[in-house]
Amino acid sequence: MADVIVGRFALIDLIAKGGSGSVWRAWDSKAGELCAAKVLRQRDSADLMRFVREKGVSFDHPHLLTPYGWGAEDEHVVIAMPLAAGGTLDSVVRTRGRLAEPAVVVLLDQLLDGLSHVHAEGWIHRDVKPANIMFEPHGRAAPVSRLADFGIAVHESDVRFTHVGMVNGTPGYMAPELFAMAEPHPSHDLYAAGVVALVALNGRIRLHDGAFRPDELAQHLRGVTPKLSAVIRTLLAAQPEERYQDADTVRRDLPRVPPGYPLTHADGAPLDLVDTLDPLPPDAPGAVRPERPVPELAPSSMEAIRAGQVQQGFSSGSPSPQTGPPGHGPQQGAPGQYGGGPGLTPPSRSSPQTTTSAQAPAGPVAARPAGTHRSTLIAAGIGIAAAVLLGAIVAVTLLWVFPRPGSALPGTEGTSHSSIDPSFAEVEAGQECAPTDEGVIALTPDGAYVSCTAADDGAVHRFA
């Protein structure tokens, strides 16, 4: 039996949890589909609830992940959102490496498409960042990204613009003028979109409050085509009046990626967006259920659900406790999916291990000579110290020789690596190219990407 909230949302399993609430994979019996259900205290949900009531339902856009339904029970609120299970841009870049330029252009264009819709309705997102850009699990097909977490979004007519001393957003993604208490403006979202592009192109970079220095931008945009470089520089202009003011203008200035163009990481690996959630349990609501009786368990309390103390919102074939012992389950303290402020983290999927130790026989134990005992301790201490020292030397050597993808070598933090082939040139579509240049990408005079490709007969290579 599932924990059913407000008679509609049957909770299946925990996706993430934090101080303000938890996010669950759930079955929406009204919509007849899976969703992401966010469980919050009413006192923690005022901003998001205002957005849901006023505009959430009308934001039906392929590149936005906004709440579509809600309900209240006891002191808690449940807010339903579409389920996007392909991970975030942050997790993709962090685990699989930075992206090649055409992939960055496609994702930046989708982000700007969503922001154009948001801004046209008079709203400002205020927390655009890679961790809030989620993917549909489409594998190697054309990616579909969706901007999530409207928890601190405000309307341009909101009276809270008059509040003094409040700065909202994520450090490193906030326009410089916000630290001078500037009123929220759509260009602040566009500035953040420029930072997102830099992170996608470079992987992990050192971000800071305030404007980028010229030398920083030169490093981060090294090897990027002049057309895209000019767009990003304008997005990140330190002075608001020199920055883009609307998303549609930015989209018009972007290079064009032809439909079907292969999108890859910087190392040439295909962009492969797979489902990051565990397989749906066979007994879960919405799954095909076996025809056998299922023992019923008492539903969990709303507070246990909100706090993430419940790992599974339905009972399986055999009775099992719905709340785990203290110390097990989701960890807290890092950003998570579906927004809602800091502290949402995916739950631990590992099972607790049980260990046993042999008991010493009862009765007196003969004492060892003091000299022997001291010698044994000295030898053990020397052995442990030698092992630790050797392990540290090996670890440092391996990290130096084989750095993680997207990470910086010691002493080189802040130094970017070109995310694309530096051999960009302006070419005509159909122009011949050398066989040794196969795979090199270039731009046509009208701003479209092409790559050096072998003809069907293999006799000649052309940009297509």
Give the whole-angstrom CA distance, residue 275 versus residue 278.
8
Predicted confidence at residue 263, as pLDDT, reads 95
Q: H-helix or E-strand containing 123?
A: strand 123-124
Predicted confidence at residue 327, as pLDDT, reads 38
For 3-83+278-306, which CATH class? alpha beta
Predicted confidence at residue 318, as pLDDT, reads 36
Q: How far is CA 202 from CA 80, 176, 247, in A?
A: 34, 21, 23
426 with 442: CB under 8 angstroms?
yes
Tens digit of each residue's pLDDT (9 = 90 or more) over 150-159: 878 888 887 4
Q: Which residues 6+ apart lie within 8 Å of 201 measured at CB?
A: 98, 99, 101, 104, 220, 221, 224, 416, 419, 420
CATH level 3 topology of 89-253: Transferase(Phosphotransferase); domain 1 (1.10.510)
Indicate left, alpha or beta for 275 from its phi (over 0: left) and psi (-120 to 50: alpha).
beta
Predicted confidence at residue 31, as pLDDT, reads 87
Predicted confidence at residue 57, as pLDDT, reads 45
**CA terminus-to-terminus distance, the chain:** 57
Predicted confidence at residue 268, as pLDDT, reads 93
Give the whole-angstrom CA distance, residue 319 versus residue 303.
22
Q: How far from chain centre, in Å, is Cα 79?
A: 20
- Which pair of tokens denotes residue 199? 């992170």
Show me where the domains of the chain are located. Answer: 3-83+278-306, 89-253, 432-463
Predicted confidence at residue 113, as pLDDT, reads 98
Q: Which residues 6+ apart lie within 8 Å of 18 measured at CB?
A: 308, 332, 336, 340, 341, 342, 343, 344, 345
Residue 241, phi then psi, degrees to nearest 5:
-70, -20
Tens digit of each residue's pLDDT (9 = 90 or more) over 239-260: 999 999 999 999 999 999 988 8
Residues of the chain below pLDDT 70? 1-2, 18-20, 43-58, 159-166, 286-380, 392, 394-425, 439
